[in-house]
Amino acid sequence: MASTLDVTLLAIGLAYPFLVYFGLRVLPPGVVALLLVALLALRITFKSAQRRRDNLPFVVAAAIVLLVVVRFPLVGLKVYPIVLSLTFAAVFGYSLLSPPTIIERIARLRQPDLPVVANSYLRKVTIAWLIFFLANAAISTVTAAIGSMKLWTLYNGLLSYLVMGALFAGEFLIRQRVHERLIRGTA
């Protein structure tokens, strides 16, 4: 069960592009950047007590964003989704080179006795998420480079989440079919 703090931190993370967009209407870029980096630091601090290893992507992203924010505040605000996507892509990609894949590790948390034949499917899911994170980073880079805050916010605050949700939903539906085939022994 998620705590109030977990829900609050998740909401802040999801609202990040909108906080940037509306924050820049009333505050200078450097102030908005430092406030958002402070929120990210709070998230890392509170989550590290729970799952230290799960925080690595956030720690790496925060460090890179902080370095950019100091020199180029507006760029630093826009680079966070790019860095986060590339960090997750690196985690997923590394797990392909050093099995078990990240998706297999997650699956085994819920079902430790997964059959070996499931590994092929889990590897494909890991590849799909790797491609998503690379594509998401590329599109986020384009929206940041174009310069329009409205376009950047639209993609990074809405469209990327819709695509991610569609990927989750599609994978869930496919997983049900794969699971049925594994049970019947026709995989």
Q: Which of 76, 5, 90 minimizes the C-alpha distance to 45?
A: 5
Residue the block writes with tokens 């590849």:
127
Distances in Å between the alpha carbon of 169 and those of 15, 110, 111, 126? 21, 18, 20, 15
**Which residues touch 98 (CB under 8 Å, ≥6 apart)?**
none
**Coil, strand or helix: which one is 186?**
coil
Confidence (pLDDT) at 55: 61
What averages of pLDDT result for each successive group of 10 residues across the chain (187 residues)? 68 77 82 76 63 62 70 78 88 93 90 87 95 97 88 90 93 87 69
Q: Which of 54, 123, 139 minimizes the C-alpha distance to 88?
A: 54
Domain ranges (residues) in the chain: 4-184
Q: What is the DSSP string of 81-109?
A: HHHHHHHHHHHHHHHHHSSSPHHHHHHHH
Cis before 112? omega within 30: no
pTM higher than 0.85: no
Q: How many residues does the chain have?
A: 187
